[in-house]
Structure 1
């Protein structure tokens, strides 16, 4: 851990530890992986415009997300099957979230139970959902999430089915023995292990995800729960307006980390237009390609309320379990604080559009 000075250090160390097929599943995107590359390039082409002679002696990164105080405008993005990279899986990730004081968005396809995950953290836990054809199974999961203390639901809306991911097809990716979706009916997950051809994850999505849902279906989901419902996968101002009009509690600007529609717009490129359309009606989050504290600062300057961090969390988990995730999150927070200080914006309220070009 002493050699882990940046998120790229964790990435290299994780790759050295993981089997090739697992690494490709984590890192890969859809199609030619154009959008994976675009997410990163969109951050790199933006520059910061620092102000000087500002009192920066007391930087403050604290904020509130969905009413809960957090130590920084960061959260762990939903990613499936953490036990692919570490035996403790999401429980280790939850402990790190607790220590760092940051929300953990647990994937519907988590490999540890919601009860175990929420018991391991004092930080807010949100649950990500896909819309299953079996609404009874979806409603049951929502009820169990409420009982476990989950604070919000995040519906992924850019995946009526899983896109073609060539790395998974070439490697014939399947879940290894002992790694299951611990919170989903086992009968609904059978295809994820026994798909007849290509990627079992892709086969499962085509069997179990409901591709027929529309905006009108959101009323059913909101009616099944007292929890706030956010939508993840919004990339246009038009859809952002519809989301607000349909009563969602928040929006995540996201292209699924480049794992769904290839050639989709980079999330950070879509952010400012969506923020302007929403006009503060609901919080707006963003994910995709975040690897440095300056990336987070750029996203905040473009109007994001917080940034979700994905693959780097699994890199840290693979390297050193909860300690590794803590290292990733702490590094990113420290880099953000330094970027804010050096930009002359020591508090979140100091960050505005004039800071980035």
Structure 2
């Protein structure tokens, strides 16, 4: 009997330097945008209204930055993380060009690091992934690292190599996905907040106040929207017998929830320019209620631009705990028990 179905790659299948061209190209539509909005309730004006976007300099509303990220990420899953235990984190993610409804995205990845775990049952795979549009223009560039099961714990793995991932995306590399905007035409009342880039200060902490409860169907619909096929998110028959006994919520679902919640306090942070790094510090399951808070790590001018400025944010998502006290560290200096996401990223705001 021939095996035509793809069982996915296990840790011992990966080789350093191998390039993987991922299936399937995906045309992004306004239907995808509507479903994304219904799942997260995102309210940023530039991505919500063509009229608002056109008034400040976009040809129309761009696709939400994290929807672009998730779609490109989803392309990589069947080849990289179909047999993953968990996605661990991200680094050096840059949004390079705006994506609009009608654009078609595809992805390519290179294996840049491998490290077998001491239990010989899993290993960490580091990949450098790139997303392109229909004109082969690069729209996204990022690194991620993921823990993947071994098929055979006695199988010999490739030589260990841990890459030196970028810690912070330089300010000089920000803003290519944001056209020059007309700040005089930017309607702060309709955007939902009077606060511009200059109104934020380094060290400022913002409680985003609201919480959202995750429903089992919602997180699976969201993950299917991105064509992410990782078994840990869908298959209760197998996951019921695994470590947690239930399906794991895709980490990107938490990122999008936190981003949507951040509107309350950062409504004019209309563009995510880069992700410096991110960690899923604890698993999340359906029925958890997600809250979020952010700290301004840095404010920065963009070279040769006087229309927008950049804020480097650290956003913490917490489950089943409002963030009035900004939960982050416990007494042991580990993460607070409620913390589930630690995301370091750059956003752009009008000056």
| TM-score normalised to structure 2 length | 0.25
Greater length-normalized contact order (CA 8 Å, ≥ 6 residues apart): 1
Q: Greater share of helix residues, 1 or 2?
A: 1
| TM-score normalised to structure 1 length | 0.25
Q: Greater share of strand residues, 1 or 2?
A: 2
